[in-house]
Amino acid sequence: MFFFNLHTHHFTNNPDVLELVNQYPQDFDGSVPFYSIGIHPWYIVESRIDADLKIIEEKLKEHNCLAIGECGLDKRIEIPFDLQILVFEKQLALAEKYKKPVVIHCVAAFQEVIASKKKTKIAVPLIIHGFSKNHQIANQLIKEGFYVSFGKYLLRNPDLKTVFQNLPNDRFFLETDTIEESIQQVYEVASKYKELKNEQLQSVISNNYKNVFQNQ
């Protein structure tokens, strides 16, 4: 593995990249080599929650299902927030049961995500994907034991540079999510910001991958 893409919706089948492809219970593609699966807060359908959770639980037993997610909390959508919390915490329980890390979508709800972690006493690694916030939130997440993944906003928002630079090297991942740029381009920017050679950055993320995805 030369590159690890923590979260993507575009499977490229590039032999140099281990891609953690996001999958949904009702739209599953069995040809994807490695994936995460979860109920995204945007796509919660109340009448289908139990059926979706059943599919997720079956997939979590497979060796090529590396994580649950993306799942999480989003205060900027119309899905009732109490329902979001219920569905999120049910998925956290499954993650703990099957010892799988969790890829988390979080919009304007970091305190509530932290509260759910404490409430459920979950011990598996939790990764906030698509991070775009400030030092204070980043530091709080690290303090609470989360990992943080960067992608689109690292490329688009220069203000994230110092946030990323100050993040401990054993606590971050890189991703492409839905952007057109390649994971290699994200690594390029990250290498520059961290003042690391590309090979050094690859080694850092490879170690993080082993710690999170191979120690469960």
Q: Residue ranges for the binding site for a divalent metal cation?
A: 70, 105, 129, 177
Amino acid letter at 195?
Answer: E
Binding-site positions read 70, 105, 129, 177
Compute the distance between CA of residue 134 and CA of residue 166 in angstroms, rounded to an integer: 11
Amino acid letter at 147?
Answer: Y
Are 177 and 7 a contacting pair, CB within 8 Å? yes
Would you give the end-to-end CA distance of the chain in angstroms?
Answer: 19
Compute the distance between CA of residue 87 and CA of residue 79 in angstroms, rounded to an integer: 11
Amino acid letter at 45?
Answer: V
Compute the distance between CA of residue 111 and CA of residue 150 in angstroms, rounded to an integer: 19
Are 126 and 147 a contacting pair, CB within 8 Å? yes
- Cβ atoms within 10 A of the Cβ of 162, count? 12
Are 80 and 50 a contacting pair, CB within 8 Å? no
